[in-house]
Structure 1
Amino acid sequence: MHDLRRQALENGKTVSRKARSRQVSTASSKANSNLNSPAQSRANSRNPSRHGSDDEEYLSDGTAWSTNSIEDILNGEDVDLPSDAWKAELQNTVEQIVDRKRSSTEGRADSLSRFAHICMARFAKDDIESHMGELLPSMLRSIKQETTERETVNALKALSVAIITLDSDDIYDSVADQLKRTISDSESIQAKISAIHALGVAAFFGGASEDESEDVMTYLLEIIESDGLSVDAHDEGSVVVAALEEWGLLATGVEDIEETTEAAIEAFVDQLQSSDAGVQIAAGENIALLYEKSYTPREEDEDISEEDVDSEDEEQPSRDDKLVKRYTVYRRQDQLLHTLDDLATISTRKISKKDRKTLHSSFADIRNSVEKPTRGPKYSTALDQETGRSYGGGRMKVRINRNVEVRIDKWWKLQRLNALRRVLQGGFTHQYDENEAVSRCLPFSVAGKR
């Protein structure tokens, strides 16, 4: 791979459903094999979408993140099974994962993959919680031994899904050390990537303290600053992307990130020069997040200067609701804006048409937020002909059901949505309805209302 530091202007890079089966376990096994490829991993790390109208962008219901519909796998229209058949399938799968003496490497890999898929599509906390005393050691053993890449990666994915399912404050301490060893020592790039994502999920959902979360962020920043060299993955763009994505997730949970910003922003700006479009976009989204977090609501009776007060009247009608700039994120902002302009309009043929389109769309939003930090992703300054006001934010939405939708009008929301999508894939909307760990991450609105 070319050096990630090369100028982006010179060089750069970044379904159909499976046939339904009458046997749940067979269908799960076949479908899972497609989800383990690096190409699918890269596809899952982005946020594909479709346009519902001129002023609203609705994200897909999950199939865009996966080549398989998990609902079809578990309860396909041509599968004559009772509605709770997945519980029996899950119970069998748990027994196969735990009983290592009677299982083969490929058998465990299949079972771990099937476990993850069932727990994505169904909220199974009550069904797995009592088994975690045996499940967790077995998963960690598969991760530690690395008998095959497939077993290791499937164990890491199963662990991530289990962490979000359990919503426990006790799991981080049990898994963090092993995940860091895998990131640092594994010879498999895919295992490193999956372990980075699992570490971020464990810290965010698994009970890490504020200090522990900040330690993980520091660890991830070392990977980013060194282009992966710190974990023996030099110039592996997919490893750097994973570190950027999980850093962004953890940053959304830090209330005051001013002290962390100076070192982080330098690393992210540096990565804008990457030859990998995925690295550039992930770095840019973190930059937008840092600018967004530099503004906080005006406190009661706070004496502030007008120049530090946001003036988006259409979004914040009263002065008391204004957001206030608390600190300077990056001192060379003019230079940064120039770089973002270049990325938002890049036209070199050395970059694929698909990557150019993605870069243009992403960096137009990122540049907009750097210039005006209170504007989130997909903010539109176009005027609504009926109201005469700009469309503003909230054009990107996730429809959960007929009455509930999630407006992705902030960068912190987009970071959390992408993290949940990476783990839960097509099961996201079902989990949002059933799993408090998921729904509390993203506030919802009543469909059709702004």
Structure 2
Amino acid sequence: MHDLRRQALESGKTVSRKARSKAVSTTSSKANSKAGSTLNSPAQSRANSRNPSRHGSDEEEYASDGSAWSDSAASIEDLLNHDEGDVAVHVWKTKLLEFIEQIIDRKRSSTEGRADSLRGYTHILRMIYGKDEIVHRMGDLLPAILRSIKAETNEHETVTALKALAVTIITVNSDNIYDSVASPLKRSIADSESVQTKISAIHALGTAAFFGGASEEEAEDIMGFFLEIIESDGLSINAHDEGSVVIAALEEWGLLATEIEDMEDATEAAVEAFVDQLESSDRGVQIAAGENIALLFEKSYTPREDDEELSEEGTNSDEDEPSSSVKFVKRYTVYRRQDQLMHTLDELATISTRKISKKDRKTMHLSFVDVKNSVEMPTIGPRYSMALDPVTGRPYGSRWKIRINRNVVLTINKWWKLMRLNAIRRIVQGGFVQQYEENEAVSRSLPFSMAY
């Protein structure tokens, strides 16, 4: 399975005012037809207008990733593409309110109709920050979405409801959602017979714990739940050897770990599980496990306290900041068999077997060079260049940059930033830039300054 977690795509085409007007006209003329019908005609969307690249150029403009959680492109995206000027506010608001009414009114909707409404609702909230339009409807909307999840009438409705729940959580940005959704999401993960439902529920549960108000203790409990899935290769939730399920658990474990300040007590069991998964036959599982290993090494170093006296051993400077005087201190040992781990990582970083495609070999090489470098030097993050700047004589440092607009560039120089970036991408997909600029939950999670 190819790696879908670390793509950074370039932006694609924009849509002219004339084209948007046509889309508005088309959508309005179909407003009374089947719910969500405007979503059914495929189009070459801005989010999918260029092929994905795992690393891309040094400075990347974000569009969307192509993961299994993505929805197909659709004509409504043209309606919501407002790079050259705002679409009339009443158009998308009216459509969003229609979808909300159709989601809530189950008596007058079919299974497929609700699925289409959920998909349309999700798409609008990804592309336009609509907190003001949904927050006062949460009393009816959240229970309705949960009913579609609990009922599990068919996979289509359930999966679209889980995606709708995730984007609702990140939009509303409330500390009061986790308690309402945790139990039904755990039941879906454990009891559903659908692999795709399990995957979507794992992602939704990670989103709820991170953005929905879970306490640190509750987040650690969810991490333990995910770790059981990883350790058992999915057997603990009746999805044995389903690599995509294990990948989802690895990804969401990594996201929640970024919020835990002290990982010392949890590290030993976790790193053992991740090292075991480096032997997986699934390339996606190997990469996700490797990235979590790098995160654990990164978290084992913290900034030196003002009154702390240090020896040179066990300290590192912030290698990505040539002008920084910050010193990082090793607080504990992540893995006692580090020589053995380095040997494994070196093999994965140089894998040459013809049993995997050339593209997958390249992805493995890029991923595990990053991981190996961070295990050796935990204060450096992904995409770190060891090449020396001829002017300063120091390494170039992090080369992974994502341009948000003319004034804001995200530098992904820490593994915790990568984990959060990928999680937000999974939720909002092609709406990342809009969400970053307007949604505090997103911008707060990924500060654009160079500060640690």
2:33 corresponds to 1:28: no
Match of 1:234 among 233, 240, 247: 240
Flag as ranges the 4+ runs of structure 1 deviating above 4 A: 12-21, 63-67, 75-81, 311-314, 316-319
Unaligned regions of 5+ residues in structure 2, if any? 4-8, 29-35
CA contact (8 A) 2:54 2:363 kept: no
Distance 1:79 1:445 in 2: 28
Matches within 5 A, 1:302-341: 302-311=308-317, 315=321, 317=323, 321-341=326-346
2:284 corresponds to 1:273: no
Distance 2:116 2:193 in 1: 22
Matches within 5 A, 1:141-180: 141-180=147-186
Give the 3 Å change call, closer, same or farther, for CA 423–404 of structure 1 in structure 2: same
CA contact (8 A) 1:48 1:59 kept: no
* DSSP 3-state at the match of 1:278: helix
Matches within 5 A, 1:224-263: 224-263=230-269
CA positional deviation for 1:85: 1.0
* DSSP 3-state at the match of 1:157: helix
Name 2:384's counterpart in structure 1.
379
Deviations 1:7-61 (A, max 9, x none): xxxxx876999998532754434459x9xxxxx9xxx9x973421xxxx242533
Match of 1:413 among 395, 413, 417: 417
Distance 1:190 1:313 in 2: 41
Name 1:60's counterpart in structure 2.
62
CA positional deviation for 1:351: 1.1
Matches within 5 A, 1:164-203: 164-203=170-209
2:229 corresponds to 1:219: no
Matches within 5 A, 1:280-295: 280-295=286-301
2:218 corresponds to 1:207: no
Distance 2:220 2:86 in 1: 49
Matches within 5 A, 1:73-92: 73-75=79-81, 82-92=88-98
Q: TM-score, normalised by structure 1?
A: 0.87
2:78 corresponds to 1:72: yes
* DSSP 3-state at the match of 2:313: helix
Q: What letter is aligned with 1:388?
A: G
* DSSP 3-state at the match of 2:316: coil
Q: TM-score, normalised by structure 2?
A: 0.87
The sequence identity of aligned pairs, in percent, is 64
Q: What letter is aligned with 1:143?
A: I
Match of 2:54 among 18, 43, 48: 48
Name 2:302's counterpart in structure 1.
296
CA contact (8 A) 2:210 2:219 kept: yes
Distance 2:90 2:333 in 1: 54
Distance 1:311 1:167 in 2: 35
2:401 corresponds to 1:401: no
* DSSP 3-state at the match of 1:380: strand
RMSD: 2.9
Q: How many residues align?
A: 421
Matches within 5 A, 1:135-146: 135-146=141-152
Give the 3 Å change call, closer, same or farther, for CA 181–442 of structure 1 in structure 2: same
* DSSP 3-state at the match of 2:445: coil
Tell me whether 406-415 or 349-358 shows the greater mean CA deviation. Answer: 349-358
Distance 2:117 2:306 in 1: 55
Name 2:32's counterpart in structure 1.
none
Distance 1:140 1:47 in 2: 35
Name 1:443's counterpart in structure 2.
447
